[in-house]
Structure 1
């Protein structure tokens, strides 16, 4: 009997670390029988390329972008007038947990929520796959039977550590959205130049986010298009295209650019070859942690009004035309004072196992920290060991899909 599996999601991080392993596991357990659809909801952290990312997953049959979400939520109409089989499951993998309540009832489908930190709407949802047992403990007693601890979906990242190359490779992950790229690109370029002067044998690579083209990335290294570049170390670069594209700084340093669409080497294999990564906060810290790749996490604050990626009401306020910039400075200043652990491995461990640098960061000082790690490989190995300890065991995707299979049966 034909069945539909509808996945609700929203942002690039959820698509990469939640949706991708789930759709693979759905095909592994159910074969080609179910029709897999992905419907995206609006998110302040979205890049606008989420639908393209979801379509790139060969396991997915249909994708609807966030532009048409509320028409679907309110009236049940998709932009392409999709038909639905009589039997199916709605899987929540990002967004608002209220959405599967409405959509599941309308379609007459069972509902399964993956709950990372909190589970809601217990009465109206059929099953929950939760990350930690504490979520079950907090649930009302009559609904605890609906909950199964599946573990952390972010731990599904490939965990086999490749043998390190004899070359010293450093990965630069400045982000994928303008709010992070504006500061992250010039800062990481400046850090790389300082490291190169001390360690000329070092290679640098930027794994370019699938939502970015090379020209868009390069503009953040161009002083004519990025006015805060002087605040971030004043290192500019130009794009050199060809079979092996790279950014070349004004001092002659080459930063290799790795594109997932054109490279044969998977991104996780590339990152596993890195001795160290310089990265922004976000899902990339979970991926690096799951690969046990040492990292330094950067959150520069030279331009507070550029940090407009908060969730919920703050995210809406800071993006208001005209007044958004002033509101952003106030909100970000207050939020930064209250922030705790930021990188996912530190959140998992509840302690600082990878360094988080927050403030008006100086490229030379960050480079000194990176060089100290590179000069003392035992420190990197200690960080790598701690990452292995806290990343969790893979298997969450298999357990969550098993719940889906139970509901279908």
Structure 2
């Protein structure tokens, strides 16, 4: 095989961890590990959910040879030059795994490369894209017949994460100790950004306190985002540092860091409840053990859906400017320095009015176009959410029904390997 470049286009942390990782593994399996023949590069585009660590995460994958951060993307898109002035082979394939689908069109033309797009819900620019790997046949249903041969149903890349959950965890990791079969494990996912954590941490810990009071066999765990340190997380549980905690009647929690290396850090509330802090990432093996998760809106609902884990999705509105992770122009306006807060309040007020009419915030519900997992929006209080969680826990048949529906709405497994096959086929066309 003549030397080729594989250029992966992606953007946010969810895409880099759940789409890029399995695809680059599959590409190496399909195309080989000889870097003098196949080189894999990752270029990131801006994303309102980005943490700034996406490039480092991409470079941590042994299959990836080089990566460029989102801060240099526009220069690359406009002029075709990377920040480090990378060289490019004469032959290559641009693989789209997140961002705007117009990006592979522009970059593919500049480099003279074939283009392969993974389309989860919508396929665009099909006149100019060479191949599409789609999650379900419905994605290609409205495409004109003359372009139908460009489309291949590959299945659901998110299910690759579910597959990882079934693998054995790292030998250095220790799963929460479940003392008996009657113990229930509940995951708490309050978010990773300050605006969400300010509301999420006191609200979610307050919910845990109420659940534990009624069901003392319950254990709680927070999968800590890799971009979040424990001290920062704990500061949102301290009413002296987080004034929003008073809206939820939350008494506070303190951070307990164990002396032994293998021990788990904990948050201990004033009522005596302890919540384990899980720092290994990704946390799919842990989440797959949870009987239910309490989560905020975002990509985590997609991950939980792919894992088939029941959830209650919360959008508290005590702080109206909390959500700033919008795509496109709304996201840019909401995050403008100095003036972003009023924009965020207006955007979220309009959004909440729409939600009250249309509903469907969690990704599984959007996929199914019905409320499979419960969504609660408004000035939420811990007790009301806890009551809903307790009702589900005391009626396991309801949780089983949610699990079954979550499994039914996703696509087939094996998507990463099928995408790698599409890339191989496009290389062979040169």
For the criterion TM > 0.5, the same-fold answer is yes
Map of 1:372 onto structure 2: 391
Q: 1:147 to 1:315 in 2, by over 3 A?
A: same
* TM-score when normalising by structure 1: 0.93
Give yes or no for contact 1:17–1:283 (8 Å, CA) kept in 2.
Answer: no
> For residue 12 of structure 1, what is the aligned residue in structure 2?
13
Equivalent residue number for residue 246 of structure 1: 266
The answer as to 2:134 corresponding to 1:130 is yes
Contact 1:36 1:60 in 2 (8 A): yes
Deviations 1:362-408 (A, max 9, x none): 10110111111122222222222222222332122222221111001
Partner of 2:418: 399
* Offset from partner CA, 1:102-127 (integer Å, 9 cap, x none): 21122221111112232222232211
1:305-344 CA deviation, whole Å, 9 max, x = no partner?
1111111111112222333222222211111222331222
1:100-249 alignment to 2 at 5 Å?
Answer: 100-159=104-163, 166=181, 167-242=183-258, 243=261, 244-249=264-269
Match runs of 1:316-335 below 5 Å: 316-335=332-351
Aligned residues: 405
Moved more, 304-313 or 266-275: 266-275
**How is 1:69-108 mapped onto 2 (pairs within 5 angstroms)?**
69-108=73-112
* Matching of residue 257 in structure 1 with residue 273 in structure 2: no
Cα distance in structure 2, aligned partners of 1:377 and 1:122:
45
Q: What SS class does the counterpart of residue 138 from structure 1 fall into?
A: coil
SS in 1 for 2:321: helix
Contact 1:161 1:292 in 2 (8 A): no
Segments of 5+ residues of structure 2 without an aligned counterpart are 168-177
Q: What SS is found at the alignment partner of 2:348?
A: helix
Partner of 2:172: none
Alignment of 1:2-41 (within 5 A): 2-33=3-34, 34-41=38-45
Check if 1:309 corresponds to 2:325: yes
Partner of 2:427: 408
Contact kept, 8 Å, 2:198 with 2:236, in 1: the verdict is yes
1:345 CA drift (Å): 1.9
Instruction: Please list every run of at least 4 consecutive aligned residues from structure 1 whose deviation after the TM superposition is greater than 4 angstroms.
Output: 159-162
Match of residue 298, structure 2, among 271, 277, 282: 282
SS in 2 for 1:379: helix
Pairwise CA distance, 1:161: 6.5
Residues in 2 aligned to 1:239 and 1:39: alpha-carbon distance in whole angstroms: 38
CA contact (8 A) 2:154 2:412 kept: no
Of residues 101-110 and 125-134 in structure 1, the stretch that sits farther from structure 2 once superposed is 125-134
Could you tell me whether the CA contact under 8 Å between 2:93 and 2:115 is conserved in 1? yes
Q: How far is 1:192 from its partner?
A: 0.7
Distance 1:5 1:232, change over 3 A: farther
Give the whole-Å Cα distance in 2 for the aligned partners of 1:20 and 1:225: 37
Aligned partner of residue 217 in structure 1, secondary structure = helix
8 Å Cα contact 1:204-1:254 kept in structure 2:
yes
Distance 2:218 2:80 in 1: 54
Contact 1:286–1:345, Cα closer than 8 Å, also in 2: yes
Cα distance in 2, alignment partners of residues 113 and 97 from structure 1? 8
Q: CA–CA distance in 2 between the matches of 1:376 and 1:99?
A: 47
Q: Is the 8 A contact 1:38 1:63 kept in 2?
A: yes
Secondary structure in structure 2 of the residue aligned to 1:139: coil
